[in-house]
Structure 1
Amino acid sequence: MAFSAVRWLTDTTPASRLQANAGRSYALTRALLRNPLAALGLFIIIALVLTALFAPWVAHYPPNAQELGDRLLPPSGAHWMGTDELGRDIYSRVVYGARITLLIVVLVAVITAPLGLIVGAVSGYFGGWIDRVLMGITDMFLSMPKLILALAFVAALGPGIENAVIAIAITAWPPYARIARSEVLTFRGAEFISAVQIQGASSARVIFNHVLPLCYSSMIIRVTLDMAGIILIAAGLGFLGLGAQPPLPEWGAMISRGRSYILDQWWVATMPGFAIIIVSLGFCFLGDGLRDVLDPKHSSDR
C-alpha cells in the first residue's frame, strides 16, 4: 500500500495537475529531509509556528502578569527561563513573543516579495526607459543600509509594530526586484513568450500568467534566506524602542530592558537573545536547503 502511494506521487506522467503538484511537493519534502541542516531548519520553523498558534497552552503564565515578589529569579522548575525586573515569567514572554516575530515576518514577506517581483518583472520585460527608471529607483534603495533606512522611516512614521513592518518592507523589496529582473532577462526572448504574444495576449497577461510563475522558485529561496535579516532588523528596532511598544513581549525590546541586568541577572537579556539566534538559524538552514533543491545550477556548482 505504501509503495503504491509513493509510486503514484512520483509518477513521471501525472494524470492530473493535482497529482503533479502532490508529486512535486513529496519530492521537495523528501529532498529537504535528506539534508540534515535543512531538516533542522524546517523543524525550527514548524516549532515557531506551533508555538505562536498555541501560545496560551505552551506558556506557563500570562505574558504580562507581574509578581514583584518573584522579580529577577534565576531559571528554575517554576520559571524555566527565570523572571524579569517586574517578576514576569520570561519563558511565557518569549513564547508570546513568537507571535509578534511571526507576524512581522509574514507581513514583511507578503508586502516585499510581490512588490519586488512585479517591479523586476515589468522592468525586465519592457526594458528601455521603463527599465532604467525602475532600476534607478531600486539602486537608490540598495545603496542605503537597510537598518539605517528603516530607522529613518520609523522615526518619521512613529514607533509601533505597523510602522516597523512598513519601514522594513520599504527597505527590503529592492533585492527581489533585481533577482526578478535578471530571471526575466534570461527568457524574455524565448519562443514560448513570442508564441503567447502572437496569439494576442496583452503585456499584463504575459507578465502575470507566464513570466512571474517562472520567478517563484528564486523568490521563495530569497524570501526564506531574508527572514533572518528581517528578524534581526525588527529586533533592532524593538531594542531601540521603535518597534513593538511595552508591555508587548517583543524579543528585541526584552533584550533592551534586560541589558541593565546583564552582569548579575544574565538570563533577562540572554533568553530572548537565544530565541532570536535559534529562529534566525532555522530560516538560514531552511533557505540553504531550498536553494539546493530548487536551484539546479547551484546544486551542480557545488
Structure 2
Amino acid sequence: MTVKLFDRSWWQNDNSESQTQAAWVHRYRLWVAFYGNRPAIFGLVLIGLVLLGAIFAPWLATHDPVAQNLGQRLLPPSTGNWLGTDELGRDVYSRLLYGGRVTLGMVLAVVVLVAPVGLLIGCAAGYYRGAADVVLMRVTDVFLAFPRLILALAFVAAIHPGMTSAVIAIALTTWPPYARLARAETMAIRDTDYIAAARMTGASSFRIIIHHVMPLCFSSLIVRVTLDMSSIVIFAASLGFLGMGAQPPMAEWGTMISSARRFILEQWWVPLIPGLAILTVSLAFNLVGDGLRDALDSRQN
C-alpha cells in the first residue's frame, strides 16, 4: 500500500489496513507528540542550524579558518570580522563554522561506534543470562569504575593526541551505560509470549536477539543517545581544551577556548564565542532528548 501523504484520515486511522500503515501511523503519532513540545522543537531547530553551518562552512565562512594575520590580531567584532579575530589574527566566525564540523563529526563518530556495540552487549547479556551475563556485566563495571575523563586521557596519552585517538577514547568510556540500559530492557521482554513464539518457530538465539530483541530496545536507546550527545560534545571539547583532541591549527571549539583563555578578561569575545557554541549545542541536544523521551512515553501509555 502506498503512503497517502495528503489523506489525514489515513494517518489517524486506528484500524490499520496493513503493517505499512500501522508503522506510519505510529510515526505520525510520535511526531505529533514531539511537535507539541516547544522546547524540543526549539532544540531541533538549533541543531539543524548548527548542522547546516557545519555542512556549508566552505561557502558560509568569510575567511580561511587557518590563515594568520598578526596585524589584525584580537580585533573586536566588526563588519570585516563578524565575531572578531583571535590571537593569531584568524577570523573567529570562520573558525567557529569549521570547528562545528570537527566537533559534530566527533559526536557522530562516537555514536556510530558506541550505540551498536553497547546495544549488542547489553542484549546478549540480558538474553543469555548466566555466565555470559556475569562476564559481560563485570567488564562493563570495570569501565564504569574509572572516571570517564581520566580513562580517556590515559588512553589518548598512551597512543597519540589527535582526533582519532579522542574518538576511540570517548567511545571506550561511553558504551557501558548503553549496555546496562539494553540489558535491563532485554530482561524485561526475554520471557514474553512474543519471544517465546519466535523460539517455537525454530529461530536461533542470535536471530532472536538481532531481529526481535534489539528493535524493542531502540526507543530507549535513541533517547539515551540523544541525551548523551550533549555530554559527548563537552567531552570532545574538554579533550581539545587539554590538548588531547584536535590539534592546532585545526579549528575545534575546545582548542579555540584553550588557546584564548589568557585573553578572557581583556578580549573576552575570543574564548566566549566557542564556549557559547558548546553551551548552545549541548542545550539543544538535551531539549531534543527530553522531547523524545516524553513523546515515546506518551505513545506507550
| TM-score band w.r.t. shorter chain | over 0.9
Which residue in the other structure is 1:158 paired with? 160
Correspondence 1:8-27 to 2 at 5 A: 8-27=10-29
AA at the equivalent of 2:144: L
Gaps of at least 5 residues in structure 2 are none
Aligned with residue 192 of structure 2, among 190, 193, 205? 190
Which residue in the other structure is 2:138 paired with? 136
AA at the equivalent of 1:25: R
Which residue in the other structure is 1:222 paired with? 224
Q: For 1:138, what is the secondary structure of its paired residue?
A: helix
Correspondence 1:257-268 to 2 at 5 A: 257-268=259-270
Q: Shift of residue 33 of structure 1?
A: 2.0
AA at the equivalent of 1:268: V
Which residue in the other structure is 2:85 paired with? 83
Q: For 2:125, what is the secondary structure of its paired residue?
A: helix
Which residue in the other structure is 1:110 paired with? 112
Correspondence 1:36-185 to 2 at 5 A: 36-185=38-187
Identity, in percent, stands at 54
Q: Shift of residue 148 of structure 1?
A: 1.0
Q: Shift of residue 43 of structure 1?
A: 0.6
AA at the equivalent of 2:199: Q
Contact map agreement 2:123 2:179 (CA 8 A) in 1? yes
Q: Aligned residues, how many?
A: 298
Contact map agreement 2:33 2:298 (CA 8 A) in 1? no
Root-mean-square deviation (CA), in Å? 1.7
Q: For 2:7, what is the secondary structure of its paired residue?
A: helix
Q: Shift of residue 6 of structure 1?
A: 2.3
1:287 lines up with 2:280 in the alignment: no
- In structure 2, do the counterparts of structure 1 residues 281 and 200 end up closer, same or farther at CA, with 3 Å as the change threshold? same
Contact map agreement 1:218 1:295 (CA 8 A) in 2? no
Contact map agreement 1:124 1:185 (CA 8 A) in 2? yes
Q: Return 56-65 or 126-135, whichever deviates more.
A: 56-65
**CA separation in 1, counterparts of 2:151 and 2:297?**
31
AA at the equivalent of 1:250: E
**CA separation in 1, counterparts of 2:93 and 2:6?**
45
Gaps of at least 5 residues in structure 1 are none
Q: CA offsets per residue over residues 271-298 of structure 1, 9 Å max, x none?
A: 000000000000000000000011349x
Structure 1-normalised TM-score? 0.94
Correspondence 1:197-208 to 2 at 5 A: 197-208=199-210
Contact map agreement 2:253 2:274 (CA 8 A) in 1? yes
Contact map agreement 2:125 2:183 (CA 8 A) in 1? yes
**CA separation in 1, counterparts of 2:130 and 2:260?**
53
AA at the equivalent of 1:185: M
Q: CA offsets per residue over residues 239-260 of structure 1, 9 Å max, x none?
A: 0111001111000000000011
